[in-house]
Amino acid sequence: MKVVIAQSYAEMSRIAADVIVRLVNEKPDCVLGLATGSTPLGMYAELVRAQARAALDFSCVTTFNLDEYRNIPTDHEQSYRRYMERNLFEPLGLDPARTNLPDCTNPDGEAACAAYERAIAQAGGIDLQVLGIGHNGHIGFNEPASEFTDRTHVVTLSPSTICANSRLFASPDDVPRQACTMGIGTIMGARRILLLASGVDKAAIVVKALRGPVMPQVPASVLQYHRDVVVVLDEEAASCL
């Protein structure tokens, strides 16, 4: 595991974007796993700037997001597809056919998850998976549990996740109750992982994930077992290491 400590959120975002730019330049048809949330926003803005100055051509890249709410219209402003469209896909002019998120509209959630796994496999697997980390160590929607999850599956959101995500909805009642998420097995199947964390509020969980025992109660700790992980932290998130 390689840990890079940046001086600021802006520098963390530039370093992380550079990892992706180098991959896309080496392998223009690479498969990227992407995350939503606050942490990667600066990195996505850097990627948009890189393409604007012709340092990057994303046109042959295929993307798979970690997760998506269930039973939310795809064009709902808080769907993860809309987040990705606003922050990355539209500014980069990506062909929607190359951008994948679990199908949140399929009434059969397990079938949607199985189809997602098949699509990842058909694309040749994920070359680089971007991750943020939750305050409780979750990655994707894989929350602390008694065992690590395996492949893409339906989750019922915990009350604390509903509460945390309600800041983006009109009220907690409007937050979807379920999501589809890549499992820990899916994430660990990526050839390379890029984990980002920013802010002093992530410092305690970063130490547990990177230096603590590997256990499903801290889902991100499993990354210690992956053979190619790059962790980019700002100084605040690294302050307890």
**Complex with ligand F6R: residue 92 or 180, whichever CB lies closer:** 180
136 is catalytic: yes
Query: Catalytic: which of 138, 165, 234, 236?
Result: 138
Quick one: three-class SS letters along 29-56? Answer: CCEEEECCCCCCHHHHHHHHHHHHCCCC
**Complex with ligand F6R: residue 59 or 158, whichever CB lies closer:** 158
234 is catalytic: no
The residues of the shown chain that bind ligand F6R, judged by CB under 6 A, are 35-39, 66-67, 132-134, 138-140
Strand partners, 34: 65
Nearest approach, Cβ of residue 9 and ligand F6R (Å)? 11
Residue owning tokens 């550079």: 18
Residue 182, CA distances (Å) to 42, 175, 187, 190, 234 in order: 23, 20, 7, 11, 26
Nearest approach, Cβ of residue 104 and ligand F6R (Å)? 13
Nearest approach, Cβ of residue 25 and ligand F6R (Å)? 25
129 contacts 190 by C-beta, under 8 angstroms: yes
65 is catalytic: no
51 contacts 88 by C-beta, under 8 angstroms: no
Nearest approach, Cβ of residue 10 and ligand F6R (Å)? 15
**The amino acid at 200:** V
**Complex with ligand F6R: residue 54 or 203, whichever CB lies closer:** 203
**Complex with ligand F6R: residue 27 or 233, whichever CB lies closer:** 233
